[in-house]
Structure 1
Amino acid sequence: MFKEVTNPDVKERILLVARDLFIHNGYNSTSIRDIATASGTNVAMVNYYYHSKYNLFEIIFDEALNVLIKRIFTAVSSDKSFFDVIGHWIDSYYETLMEYPQIPIFVLNEINQNPERLTERVLRHEPLQIYYALSERVEKEVQKGTIRSIPPLDLILNVLSLCVFPFIFGRMATKVADKTQSEYNEMLDDHKKYVKEFVISALKP
Structure 2
Amino acid sequence: MSDSKFFDDAKGNCSDEIGDRSDAQNQELVNDKISDPNQPVDAANSSPSGTPAGGNVPFPSMNNQLQMSVEPDQSGVIILQNANTFLAEENINLKFQCGRMKRDQKRLKRSLDGEKEKGIGLADMAANLSNILLMGPEAQLRERIAELEASNAQLRERNTELEASNAQLRERNTQLENGSNERVVDKENDHELGQARN
TM-score (norm 1): 0.24
Q: Highest Rg: 1 or 2?
A: 2
Q: Which has the higher contact order (CA 8 A, sep 6+)?
A: 1
